[in-house]
Structure 1
Amino acid sequence: MTELPLAFEIGTFVVLGLILLFDLLLVLKRPHEPSMKEAGLWIAFYVGLALIFAVLMFVFTGVEHGSQFIAGWITEYSLSIDNLFVFIIILARFGVPRKYQQEALMVGIILALVLRGIFILIGAAVIENLSWVFYIFGLFLLYTAWQQARDSGEDEGHAGDNALIRKIRSVLPMSQDFDGAKVRTVVDGRKVWTPMLIVFIALGLTDLLFAVDSIPAIFGLTKEPFIVFTANIFALMGLRQLYFLLGGLLTRLVFLKHALSIILGFIGVKLILHAMHVNELPFINGGKGIEWAPEIPTWLSLLVIVATILIATVASLWVSRGKVDAGLQQAGELSKIDEQEKPQA
């Protein structure tokens, strides 16, 4: 197997670091909610960048390493879709203004890269010993899916209405509202924390738990830390724009909220089944893995997610079209009534 050239590794990290820095400065300089077109163009850019890097891997490191990167990138990108839906829930629950969600997600992604880098250095062997985490997070996702399904759909929109923030505010001095993307602000001459601090922590912890699943998965494809880390970087770089692309659909499609609850429930079941399969808790099956618990493959996860979104989209468009037709019919009937009620000349 061809050794990875040191100059290629250093050059890769320098270029990716500059791209991330440019992206961060762009977000901080012009906070806004990107349009679906803008988000789509950025996603195309990052996917194209990953494909160019794959070609360079084949040229400079050989077929085997190049193939490992492609497989790892696709796997990590697929698994990143899972926590993307949880990001949508977190930002909605904390009522983060759409204008500042880019900054929140950017900081969350940087935290994710740092945490995943630490995980990669530690190695998959240690990570796999934390199998009990899958039980906790799986149950959390099932609860979140149930909450999402029964939610009235009204926009909370105010950080002070969030129960978790109210509890944390009883311990930490915290402002009632957000102050842009700042974690510290001044209220009545006193420095206090803002709810954005909790959002950053929630996003970071969410990706930390999902990384416990994704890092061992890619270590099953390659043992090269460089390939593992670059695959994670390319998977996360376009995640922010993908969030806004899906977020735009969420505001337009009435049944996507229900699809989201189904997807979250599916992911929760997936994590619990994985925890059962690799179980090490002594009070469950004597500390041994449960053989009959199936491992849900990534392709099946993608199939469920895509199919659920497509069904919700078609149903939403069908219902929306019916409402438009009914509205036009009602408007026509009202117009006829007005004509009949007009005094004859």
Structure 2
Amino acid sequence: MEVNMLTWSITGLVILGLFIFDFYTHVRNPHEPTMKESAYWMLFYMALATAFGVFLWLTWGEPNDPHQHGMEFFTGYVTELALSVDNLFMFALIMGSFKVPRMYQQKVLLIGIVLALVFRLVFILLGAAVINAWTDVFYLFGLFILYTAVKLIIDEMSDQPEQDPSDMWVIRTLRKVIHVTPTYQGDKLWIRHMGKRALTPLFVCLVAIGMIDVMFALDSIPAIYGITQEPYIVFTANAFALLGLRQMYFLLDGLIDRLVYLPYGLAVILGFIGVKLILHALHENNLPFINGGENLHVIEIPTLVSLLVIVGVLAITTVASLIKSKRDEAQGGVMPEWNPAKNIEDPSL
């Protein structure tokens, strides 16, 4: 398999087609998806990702490892899927803050996910250009991912409340310079009001989600570059992980707050990837103040080991979280509701 401009073009068109298909089959007509519907389509997109990974496994590799890129895709896909859980929580927080009616949340999610993929594509291409120009950038990637892992643990252990997305500087400025309708106008993003264009709260919510998407792209792209340096695999792993994110949001409704140890598991995964990045940087070292600018013979963590570590950490933290949640419920504890916008009706009705 050769990754050329034709391969990129075909892949881009297929991914775009899947998003268009998703819009016309599920989002165009506002409705609240059932658990059965969400589970079915989540499995559908996971099956597509698996089929694509098998295709890479069989057609693209290196002389010393014919299945290398297939393994890298599966590892990157699982990693991005795990990191996407943080996206889900923030999406719920934002839609709860803006009181988005539940029947319109699918549209907000789909557009937000498309924005996320666009932002990630930009960072993927920038990352590839930087890596080609300066391989020692992996030191910076590794340190940044380690910092993110530590910050994730500190934020989880602190009792500080989450910032209200509607208080973001961009949102407050947008409300000052452009008229925003006081209520939702169906699932419209803007309307004509008294001869002038006016934005709806749904549009403002999307701006907030777009800003959050940039922050998540800054974390996830360096992380997956710790698994593979192939921009094509980085992009496709992100695309397939994001394709099922809307369904995962509704499928995990009410469950996410039970995964109390998941943030710590994600921190361990990020820490592992950060160490892997630094080891790779040492192996390719060109910095004159480290070993005189010569490569260091350090251990390189195989992709299969990375996949086993990531899946193992996710399994352990998930099981431990569910056990703790059941124990708390048995002792009379009350689990908080995950989705802040779950029971919000349409204010415009």
Same fold (TM over 0.5): yes
Q: Distance in 2 between matches of 1:199 and 1:207?
A: 12
Q: Which has the higher contact order (CA 8 A, sep 6+)?
A: 2
Answer whether contact 1:138 1:267 (CA < 8 A) is retained: no
TM-score by length of 2: 0.66
The size of the alignment, in residue pairs, is 288
2:155 is matched with which residue: 139, 142, 145?
142
Greater helix proportion: 1
Match for residue 223 of structure 1? 229
Of 92-101 and 186-195, the range deviating more from structure 2: 186-195
In structure 2, what is the equivalent of residue 34 of structure 1? Answer: 33
Q: Hey, what's the Cα distance between the residues in 2 that align with 1:177 and 1:145?
A: 35
Query: In structure 2, do the counterparts of structure 1 residues 264 and 148 end up closer, same or farther at CA, with 3 Å as the change threshold?
Result: farther
Q: 1:132 to 1:218 in 2, by over 3 A?
A: closer
The one-letter code of the counterpart of 1:100 is: Y
Deviation at 1:198, TM superposition (A): 2.4
Deviation for aligned residue 1:65: 1.7
Kindly indicate whether the alpha-carbon contact (under 8 Å) linking 1:138 and 1:270 is maintained by their aligned counterparts in 2: no
The within-5 A match list for 1:79-158 is 79-123=83-127, 125=130, 138=151, 142=155, 146=159
Cα drift, residue 25 of structure 1? 2.3
Match of 1:310 in 2: 322
Instruction: Name the amino acid aligned to 1:78.
Output: A
Match of 2:108, SS? Answer: helix
Could you tell me which residue of structure 1 aligns to residue 250 of structure 2?
A: 244
Matches of 1:233 and 1:85 in 2, distance apart? Answer: 19
Tell me if the contact between 2:80 and 2:237 (Cα under 8 Å) persists in the aligned partners. yes
Distance 1:270 1:64 in 2: 21
Deviations 1:73-113 (A, max 9, x none): 12211222222222221111221111011000101111011
In 2, Cα distance between equivalents of 1:200 and 1:176 = 16
**Identity over the aligned pairs, expressed in percent?**
37
Distance 1:111 1:11, change over 3 A: same
RMSD: 4.3
Q: Which residue of 1 aligns with 2:17?
A: 18
**8 Å Cα contact 2:189-2:202 kept in structure 1:** yes
Q: 1:314 to 1:25 in 2, by over 3 A?
A: same
Deviations, residues 128-150 of structure 1 (Å, cap 9, x unaligned): 76978967x958x939974669x
1:273 deviation in Å?
Answer: 12
Flag structure 1 segments of 5+ consecutive residues without an equivalent.
Answer: 251-255, 279-296, 323-345
Are 2:84 and 1:71 equivalent residues in the alignment? no
Structure 2 CA distance, aligned partners of 1:260 and 1:178?
33
State how far apart, in whole Å, the 1-side matches of 2:273 and 2:5 are.
37
Structure 1 stretch 81-90 or stretch 265-274: which is displaced more?
A: 265-274
